[in-house]
Amino acid sequence: MSRRQKKTLARIICAAALLIAANFMPLDGIFKLMVFAFPYLVIGYDVLWSALRNILRGQIFDEKFLMTIATLGAFAIGEYTEACAVMLFYQVGELFQSIAVGKSRRSIASLMEIRPDFATVLREGEEVVVSPEEVALGETIIVRPGEKIPLDGEIISGATSVNTAALTGESIPLDKSVGDKVISGSINLSGVITVKTQSVFEESTVSKILELVENSTEKKARVENFITRFARYYTPCVVIGAVLLAVVPSLIFGEWQKWIERALIFLVVSCPCALVVSVPLSFFGGIGGASREGVLIKGANYLEALASVDTVVMDKTGTVTKGSFSVSAVETNGVMKEELLKIAAHAESFSHHPVGESIVASFGEEIDKSRVSDVKEIAGKGIEACVDGKTYYLGNAALMKDAGASFEETKRIGTAVYVSCGAQFLGSIIINDEIKEDSRTAIKEMKNVGIKKTVMLTGDSNDVAISVAKDVEIDEVRAKLLPQDKVAQVEKLIEKGAKVAFVGDGINDAPVLARADVSIAMGALGSDAAIESADIVLMDDKLSKIPLAVKIARKTMCIVQQNIVFAIAVKGAILILSAFGIGNMWTAVFGDVGVMVIAILNAMRAMMKVKK
What band does 310 get if pLDDT is binned at 50, 70 and 90? very high
Q: What is the mean pLDDT of residues 582-590?
A: 72
The CATH number covering residue 376 comes to: 3.40.1110.10
Condensed to tens digits (0 to 9), the pLDDT of residues 3-26 reads 778 888 898 899 889 989 988 888
Read off the pLDDT of each residue in 575-585 and give the average, rounded to a whole number: 73
Domain identity same for 426 and 350: yes
> What one-letter code names the amino acid at 389?
G
In a domain? residue 457: no
374 and 252 within one domain: no
Q: Do the domain assignments include residue 361?
A: yes
Looking at per-residue confidence, does 72 or 273 come out higher? 72
Least confident stretch, 97-101, 235-239, 479-483, 592-596: 97-101
Looking at the structure, tell me whether residues 163 and 140 fall in a common domain: yes
Range of the domain at 401: 323-435
Residue 52 lies in a domain: yes
Same domain flag for 122 and 78? no
Instruction: Give catalytic status of residue 315 as yes or no.
Output: yes
Name the helix (H) or strand (E) containing 545: helix 545-579
Q: Clarify whether residues 261 and 361 are in a common domain.
A: no
pLDDT at 526: 47
Examine residue 496 and state whether it is found in any structural domain, yes or no. Answer: no
* pLDDT (mean) for 313-341: 86
What pLDDT is stored for residue 155 in this prediction?
A: 93
Domain assignment present for residue 515? The answer is: no
Do 328 and 422 share a domain, yes or no?
A: yes
Digit-coded pLDDT (tens) for 519-552 = 888 766 545 555 666 788 887 778 889 999 999 9
Three-state DSSP string of 226-294: HHHHHHHHHHHHHHHHHHHHHHHHHHHHCCHHHHHHHHHHHHHHHCCHHHHHHHHHHHHHHHHHHHHCC
Residue 227's CB is within 10 A of a number of other CB atoms, namely: 24
Higher pLDDT, 178 or 459: 178
Alpha carbon distance 23, 448 (integer Å): 59
Whether residue 94 sits in one domain with residue 243: yes
223 with 103, same domain: the answer is yes
Looking from the CA of 202 toward its CB, the CA atoms found within 13 Å total 2
Position 105 pLDDT exceeds 60: no
The catalytic position among 315, 433, 505, 592 is 315
pLDDT at 458: 83
Average pLDDT, the chain: 82
What is the DSSP code string of 332-387?
ESSS-HHHHHHHHHHHTTT--SHHHHHHHHHH-S---GGGEEEEEEETTTEEEEEE
Q: Which helix (H) or strand (E) holds 313?
A: strand 311-315
With bands split at pLDDT 50, 70 and 90, how would you rate the model's confidence at 129?
very high
Percent of the chain with pLDDT over 90: 20
Please say whether the beta carbons of 304 and 549 come within 8 A.
no
- The C-alpha atoms of residue 608 and residue 586 are separated, in whole angstroms, by 33
104 and 223 belong to one structural domain: yes
d(CA 539, CA 295): 6
pLDDT band at 448 (very low <50, low <70, confident <90, very high): very high
Q: How far is residue 339's CA from residue 350's CA, in Å, rounded to a whole number?
A: 19
Per 3-state DSSP, the chain is made up of helix, strand and coil in percentages (nearest 5) of 55, 20, 25
Q: Which residue in 171, 207, 266 sits closest to 579, CA to CA?
A: 266
In a domain? residue 501: no
Same domain, 336 and 428: yes
Closest CA to 153 of 203, 105, 98: 203
Nearest C-alpha neighbor of 192 from the set 161, 223, 222: 161
| Structural domain contains residue 302 | no
Q: Give, for 390, the enclosing helix (H) or strand (E).
A: strand 390-395
Both 61 and 161 in one domain: the answer is: no
123 & 86 share domain: no
Is residue 584 in a domain?
A: yes
* Domain total in the chain: 3
Which of 96 and 102 is assigned the larger pLDDT? Answer: 96
All residues at 6 or more sequence positions from 326 whose CB lies less than 8 Å from its CB, including other chains: 358, 361, 362, 431, 432, 434
Whichever domain contains 189, its CATH number is 2.70.150.10
Report which of 429, 433, 432, 430 is spatially closest to residue 420, judged by C-alpha positions. Answer: 429
